[in-house]
Structure 1
Amino acid sequence: MIDVCHQQTAFATEKVCCGQIAFSPAPTDNHGMLKRPRNQPKIANRTRSFRGRMPRRQPGPTEQLHIGSWLAALELKQIDVAQRAKIGRAYLNNLINPKTPDKPPNPSALVMLRLSRVMGVSVNELYEEPPTRAELARLRRYQPATLGSLLETRS
């Protein structure tokens, strides 16, 4: 058996004397942070640069959003959609009309989900053009059961 009188760990000081163990709180600095015991080495700085740097990852192409087309097709106003989706009107306007056309906006999944719920369409449909009025008028001539069976067989 090893006779240890004061063994210090990172979380508490163990006092082992005569077979009894007593714990005292770990040493802290003035801000309540744990002090590093003197006998433990410092952790190496992990932010050092290395010679063989990895090249910066280039972002992939983003698909074009058709939010403006859907707003027009559904006859919704930007301000109403922005308020109900809890995003800024200027941000929604930037999604519809990007400031830099060569670099389209890349909204987060949460923003896209909020917009799709407010507008009543799926997120995937926001990346596609809405059907035109002529296409909708042509489809209205068919019975719902016929449309359903056509969609099932074509999928």
Structure 2
Amino acid sequence: MTLIELLIGTSLFVGGTGALFLAMHQAMRYGDFLSERQVMINAVQGRLEALVATDFDTLWTDPAYAAARQFPPSAAPYGLSEVLLDLPEGRLTIQVRSADPLNPSMPSILDLHVAGCWRSYGRLIAGEDANCTGTLEAGEDANADGWVDAPVIVSTRLSRSE
């Protein structure tokens, strides 16, 4: 075996081992991301279920939900932000809007929207909420629809039961 063959074999071995370690590292990061994503999905669904169980008039008139009802967004930031206990770098954004085109000031139907963003390994995993504060600041609403767009979003409509 010549020196050149030995160098080529050693470089292939070192390069292959390095590629294997890099692939394992990326697989572990992806696994952590999927785990955090599942925590966020559970949190968003749980919060939406709690909102659906809340009285219709409370959602529409209670001062606690004033930031969630702020639409059209005259002054940023808008959206009600909540910190997650299960995911320290995660935030939920709650938005409530009238879905009644005939009577928007006293609606019979509400749009409920809960979105979640979080940081994973120090990098941001979010849609429009660029700093992951749970609210949209000026310039963050890229598509100008007034809704927080994020990787995990759950929306529903709630009607007044009379």
- TM above 0.5, one fold? no
* The structure with more radius of gyration: 1
TM-score band by shorter chain is under 0.3
Higher relative contact order (CA 8 A, sep 6+): 2
Q: Could you state the TM-score of these two structures normalised by the residue count of structure 1? A: 0.18
Q: Could you state the TM-score of these two structures normalised by the residue count of structure 2? A: 0.17
